[in-house]
């Protein structure tokens, strides 16, 4: 991927830890933002709370298998995000079942990681919609380019801080609790994160906004969470 492209948001659903680690190590070196789910129910929860560009879904999962998860993504969540199924099942009827469940691509294990990357990029090019600009007062946020604009000043965010900002813009003028933000960012894994992880990302987000726009825009609701704060427009002067 070229450097002027925004990072793609990927959800990796895979219960084999070694393979998941390999995927994160390989794709993490490229311009991707990755989330991980070890089972289908966690994946469905993540998909219900925020959006992805491509879903990489293993078929042989504990509890609910990948076929059912793919079907629920399409039917229950009404989510049209491209899905790549990856599995050791190579028979034609297995592939037919996968496509019938709503998958867009089917990759048989073992595979070269570079091939998976090429398929991810190709699916994204064919399916990426124009994301609408999000507006909160005088703040405009483009989820496609991750660019924030405030009264003519612009700056670009990246990674987890960008996702945090999008969540706060979507929630405006309401606040989001620490629990809700952590759950949206990390799903069932947020309990494994260190207690200061969210505060660290909030700090990074505020620093980026202060540097780029001259205002942190993020307000702490003490003991409760965070909200987006639109600064007053003082350009017109005092009447």
Written as six digits, the tokens of 106 are 């089917």
Could you tell me the pLDDT band of residue 196, with boundaries at 50, 70 and 90?
low
Residues 6+ apart with CB under 8 A from 138: 150, 151, 230, 233
What whole-number distance in Å separates Cα of residue 53 and Cα of residue 66? 18
User: E strands along the chain, which residues?
Assistant: 8-13, 32-37, 54-58, 83-87, 105-108, 134-136, 139-142, 147-150, 153-156, 176-177, 218-221, 225-228
Query: Rounded to the nearest 10 degrees, how much is the dihedral formed by the CA atoms of 200, 205, 206, 211?
Result: 130
pLDDT at 236: 52
Residues 6+ apart with CB under 8 A from 160: 33, 185, 201, 204
Helix axes 66-75, 40-49, angle to 10 degrees: 20
pLDDT at 133: 86
What whole-number distance in Å separates Cα of residue 180 and Cα of residue 74? 24
Domains located in the chain, CATH noted: 8-127 (3.40.50.2300), 134-228 (1.10.10.10)
Each residue's pLDDT tens digit, 59-118: 999 888 999 999 999 998 888 889 999 999 999 999 999 999 999 999 999 999 999 999
Written as six digits, the tokens of 218 are 């993020």
Written as six digits, the tokens of 201 are 């990302």
């Amino acid at each position: 991927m070229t450097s002027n492209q925004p990072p793609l948001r990927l959800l990796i659903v895979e219960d084999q830890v070694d393979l998941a680690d390999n995927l994160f190590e390989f794709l993490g070196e490229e311009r991707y933002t990755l989330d991980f789910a070890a089972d289908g129910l966690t994946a469905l929860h993540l998909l219900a709370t925020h959006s992805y560009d491509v879903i990489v879904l293993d078929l042989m999962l504990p509890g609910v298998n990948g076929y059912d998860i793919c079907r629920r993504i399409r039917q229950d969540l009404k989510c049209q995000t491209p899905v790549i199924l990856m599995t050791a099942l190579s028979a034609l009827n297995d592939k037919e079942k996968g496509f019938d469940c709503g998958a867009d691509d089917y990759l048989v294990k073992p595979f070269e990681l570079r091939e998976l990357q090429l398929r991810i990029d190709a699916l994204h090019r064919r399916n990426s919609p124009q994301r609408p600009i999000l507006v909160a007062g005088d703040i405009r946020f483009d989820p496609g380019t991750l660019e924030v604009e405030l009264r003519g000043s612009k700056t670009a965010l990246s990674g987890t801080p960008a996702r945090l900002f999008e969540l706060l813009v979507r929630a405006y003028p309401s606040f989001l609790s620490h629990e809700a933000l952590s759950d949206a960012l990390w799903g069932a894994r947020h309990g494994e994160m260190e207690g200061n992880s969210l505060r660290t990302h909030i700090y990074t987000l505020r620093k980026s906004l202060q540097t780029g726009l001259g205002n942190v825009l993020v307000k702490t609701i003490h003991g409760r969470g965070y909200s987006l704060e639109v600064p007053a427009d003082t350009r017109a002067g005092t009447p």
